[in-house]
């Protein structure tokens, strides 16, 4: 898998011109892209990327691209990442994968790499995610990535998860799992009350 950082140009094309989006991405874009849970968030991501400029690349998600056997071109299967740079040491993550590519290991591969990419930045001390109380698969996925269930989420019927880097200064109120990750089955949909839901895979340094 290759992870391509979102840019304003890519998201602008993603919204308005699917053919140009595919050309810029260098991949086949399935007709059901974007995933339903991510579509409404695209204008928000475009606004953030336009405001941030090049410094925002990587902080507003990655596109996950894979090369499948007998395919003429790489295929866009999902996206995931953080919802912006760290604030007081904290970032929140989310992701989505097209239905045809779920339960193939892509979500685990993608988000494991994203988490490791986030830890490269010394400002990041805590990674958060939220998912529905009744989404057992999502909760298991987050635990498998090394997250700890902490408290009710910001929205009704959700649960918050956190992963703290014990090698760095603590964030007030955070629990302390280690930085290392474990791998496990799919899948999580992170959500937030005032931000949209939701990018080794090769990630730019």
In a domain, 191, yes or no: no
pTM of the complete model beyond 0.85? no
In a domain, 107, yes or no: yes
Specify the pLDDT at position 203: 43
Q: Which domain holds residue 85?
A: 2-164
What does the pLDDT average to over 119-135? 92
In a domain, 195, yes or no: no
Per-residue model confidence as pLDDT tens digits over 9-63: 999 999 999 999 999 999 999 999 999 888 999 999 999 999 999 999 999 999 9
Q: Which residues contact 49 (CB under 8 A, 6 or more apart)?
A: 6, 7, 8, 11, 56, 57, 60
Q: For residue 181, which of 102, 100, 93 has the smallest C-alpha distance? A: 93
In a domain, 187, yes or no: no
The total number of structural domains in the chain stands at 1
Q: Are 7 and 57 in contact (CB under 8 A)?
A: yes
In a domain, 132, yes or no: yes
> Residue holding tokens 């874009």?
29
CATH number at residue 21: 3.40.630.30
Specify the pLDDT at position 36: 87
In a domain, 83, yes or no: yes
- CA 180 – CA 154 distance, rounded (Å): 26
């Amino acid at each position: 898998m290759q992870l391509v950082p979102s840019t304003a140009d890519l998201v602008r094309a993603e919204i308005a011109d699917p053919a140009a989006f595919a050309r810029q991405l260098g991949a086949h874009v399935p007709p059901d892209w974007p995933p339903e849970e991510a579509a409404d968030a695209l204008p928000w991501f475009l606004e953030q990327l336009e405001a941030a400029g090049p410094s925002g690349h990587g902080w507003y998600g990655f596109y996950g691209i894979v090369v499948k056997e007998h395919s003429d071109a790489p295929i866009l299967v999902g996206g995931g990442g953080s919802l912006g740079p760290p604030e007081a040491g904290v970032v929140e993550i989310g992701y989505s994968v097209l239905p045809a590519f779920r339960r193939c290991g892509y979500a685990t591969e993608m988000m494991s790499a994203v988490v490791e990419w986030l830890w490269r930045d010394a400002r990041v001390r805590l990674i958060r995610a939220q998912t529905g109380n009744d989404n057992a698969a999502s909760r298991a996925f987050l635990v498998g990535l090394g997250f700890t269930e902490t408290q009710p989420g910001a929205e009704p019927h959700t649960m918050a998860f956190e992963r703290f880097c014990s090698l760095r200064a603590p964030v007030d109120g955070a629990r302390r799992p280690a930085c290392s990750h474990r791998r496990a089955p799919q899948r999580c949909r992170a959500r937030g009350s005032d931000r949209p839901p939701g990018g080794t895979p090769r990630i730019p340094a």
